[in-house]
């Protein structure tokens, strides 16, 4: 990990009047997936009521992790009335490695990056009467009791006295009679189990680029890009899926691949030549509009899915990414699986394993 | 009527609590919150929480004499949500 780059990302965030939440983890590993997944969780909320970081009406949470070959540090807090802010600092684990996803159209993904998001979350509780709630709980318990194929965890929930989503999720997953599922949905959500989120995102990325100057000597330049965007999402907390849409404007820099040249010079006192490659011009600025749509679905601790399509308007590029989460440690804080990716301009496809810090809708 | 106070301690991003029949509700960061409830009547506390897996959620209801009449303690599950209810008599 490059801590210096992480520092640069942190500094960028301060320039943005910064703030920070965490999505973590992911990179193929030499360790077996199961070994890694059995490690204690790496995401650690560290806020408490006496936190000096506590803003008015909210608490700051900090987490560290790794995401798509990037090390991340994130902060988040919730204010009253549903307003949340979150910020993330990230940096590549290793410079000059390819990103984990060929489908990523994020022009700032190769350097250190600071992101700041402000969201408004709203949800209107629609619970029924105590009798409806008790009936839903009793019916779910009785329906599950009639099955003889329950795993130990579910059997313990059925034998217990708690009336909560852990029991109801079991009712959905086994599944039980649809009337029971309908009564759960109605009792807790009035048939409308949706949480909505919309907000604004800004970010800045910092990276260095090597190229050849006019005397063909290697030189380096640093560039700072930025992005601004809007996002909106809806999450169904009963059937456990979410749909996320976003659109943003981005300024990034990339090496001018058309200027790639090979320069050779004779090695003194030998007939051999020493050759090296480089770009004969500085990086190109690229302004683009990027829209994305993502559908996330959780079946169980053993299976979750995220399908995302990202489209860049200027050059008509579409990228599709499908991470499939297949393994989980005991508390779900780390997950592993396979990731598929494709983009229409290069027709590159990608398939590989990944380890991530859990799955969130 | 008896005066009761509900306190939520949680690292969840958001949480909401409704006291049946839905006419009394409060959400993050409104804790502690006090209500006047009918003495001895059966109620239910319904909670909803959203956050990272493993975030703790604790709801405690106490009477004016500090005696506890309802307590819910749990962690947010791997899907990032938690909801449920528990009956009580203040």
pLDDT digits (tens, 9 = 90+) for A83-106: 888 898 988 876 654 444 556 778
- Nearest-Cα distance to chain A for B35, in Å, is 18
Chain B residues in contact with A162 by the CB 8 A cut-off are 74, 84, 86
pLDDT digits (tens, 9 = 90+) for A30-70: 334 334 333 433 333 322 322 333 333 344 556 666 555 67
* CB count in 10 Å sphere of residue A236: 17
Q: Which has the higher per-residue pLDDT, B68 or A56?
A: B68
- Closest CB to A165 among B18, B53, B84: B84
How does residue A275 score in pLDDT terms, banded at 50, 70 and 90?
Answer: confident
B65 Cβ partners below 8 Å, 6+ apart? Answer: none
DSSP three-state, residue B42: coil
The answer, as to whether pTM is greater than 0.90, is no
**pLDDT, position A306:** 92
- Best residue in A23, A58, A121, A127 for a mutation probing chain B (most B CBs within 10 Å): A127
DSSP of A316-334: TEEEEEEEEEEEE-TTSSS
d(CA A262, CA A242): 49
Share of chain A above pLDDT 90, in %: 35
Contact A121 B30 (CB under 8 A): no
Q: Which has the higher per-residue pLDDT, A112 or A74?
A: A112
* CB count in 10 Å sphere of residue A308: 20
**pLDDT, position A333:** 66
Residue in B with minimal Cα distance to A55: B29
d(CA A33, CA A329): 10
Residue pair A117/A86 in contact by the 8 Å Cβ criterion: yes
How does residue A123 score in pLDDT terms, banded at 50, 70 and 90?
Answer: confident
For residue A116 the two structure tokens come to 């700041």
d(CA A183, CA B46): 15
**pLDDT, position A196:** 92
DSSP three-state, residue A173: helix
Instruction: Give the residue from A141, A175, A177 showing the smallest Cα distance to A158.
Output: A141
- Nearest-Cα distance to chain A for B66, in Å, is 21
For residue A151 the two structure tokens come to 């795993």
- Best residue in B11, B13, B41 for a mutation probing chain A (most A CBs within 10 Å): B13
- Nearest-Cα distance to chain B for A163, in Å, is 6
Residue pair A187/A128 in contact by the 8 Å Cβ criterion: yes
- Closest CB to B46 among A47, A76, A133: A133
The predicted complex's ipTM stands at: 0.92
Contact B78 A133 (CB under 8 A): no
**Which of A38-42, A73-77, A84-88, B74-78 bottoms out in mean pLDDT, i.e. has the lowest?**
A38-42
**pLDDT, position A82:** 72
CA distances from A340 to A153, A319, A349, B38 (A): 32, 11, 7, 58
Contact A165 B83 (CB under 8 A): yes
Choose from A8-22, A264-278, B66-80 the range with maximum mean pLDDT.
B66-80
pLDDT digits (tens, 9 = 90+) for A231-260: 999 998 877 899 999 999 999 999 988 888
**pLDDT, position A158:** 94
Share of chain A above pLDDT 70, in %: 75
**pLDDT, position A122:** 85
- Closest CB to A359 among B78, B81, B82: B78
Residue pair A64/A357 in contact by the 8 Å Cβ criterion: no
Q: What average pLDDT does range B60-65 have in this prediction?
A: 95
């Amino acid at each position: 990990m490059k801590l210096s780059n992480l520092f640069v990302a942190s500094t960028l965030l301060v320039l943005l009047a910064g703030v920070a939440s965490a999505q973590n983890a992911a990179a193929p590993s030499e360790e077996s997936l199961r070994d890694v997944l059995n490690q204690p969780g790496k995401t650690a909320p560290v806020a408490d009521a006496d936190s000096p970081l506590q803003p008015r009406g909210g608490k700051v949470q900090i987490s560290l992790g790794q995401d798509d070959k990037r090390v991340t540090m994130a902060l988040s807090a919730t204010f009253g009335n549903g307003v949340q802010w979150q910020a993330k600092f990230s940096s590549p684990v290793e410079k000059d490695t390819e990103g984990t996803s060929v489908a990523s159209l994020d022009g700032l993904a190769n350097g250190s990056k600071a992101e700041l998001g402000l969201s408004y979350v709203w949800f209107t509780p629609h619970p029924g009467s105590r009798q409806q709630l008790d009936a839903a709980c009793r019916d779910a318990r009785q329906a599950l009791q009639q099955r003889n194929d329950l795993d130990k965890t579910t059997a313990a929930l059925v034998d217990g006295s708690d009336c909560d989503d852990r029991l109801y999720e079991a009712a959905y997953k086994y599944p039980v009679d649809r009337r029971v599922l309908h009564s759960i949905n109605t009792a807790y959500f009035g048939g409308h189990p949706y949480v909505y989120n919309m907000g604004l995102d800004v970010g800045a990325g910092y990276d260095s680029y090597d190229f050849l100057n006019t005397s063909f000597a290697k030189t380096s330049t640093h560039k700072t890009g930025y992005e601004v965007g809007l996002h909106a999402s809806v999450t169904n907390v009963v059937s456990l899926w979410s749909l996320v849409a976003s659109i943003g404007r981005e300024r990034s820099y990339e090496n001018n691949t058309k200027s790639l040249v090979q320069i050779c010079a004779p090695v003194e006192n030998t007939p051999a030549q020493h050759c090296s490659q480089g770009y004969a011009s500085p990086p190109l600025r690229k302004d683009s509009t990027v829209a994305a749509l993502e559908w996330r679905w959780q079946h169980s601790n053993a299976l979750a899915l995220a399908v995302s399509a990202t489209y860049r308007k200027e050059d008509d590029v579409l990228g599709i990414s499908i991470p499939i989460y297949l393994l989980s440690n005991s508390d779900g804080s780390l997950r592993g699986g396979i990731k598929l990716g494709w983009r229409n301009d290069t027709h590159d496809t990608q398939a590989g394993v990944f380890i991530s810090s859990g799955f969130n809708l | 009527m008896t005066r009761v106070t509900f306190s939520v301690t949680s690292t969840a991003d958001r949480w909401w609590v409704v006291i049946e029949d839905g006419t009394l509700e409060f959400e993050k960061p409104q804790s502690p919150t006090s209500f006047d409830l009918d003495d001895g009547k059966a109620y239910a506390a319904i909670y909803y929480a959203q956050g990272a897996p493993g975030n703790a959620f604790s709801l405690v209801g106490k009477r004016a004499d500090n005696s506890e009449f309802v307590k819910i303690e749990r962690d947010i599950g791997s899907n990032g949500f938690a909801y449920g209810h528990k009956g009580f008599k203040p």
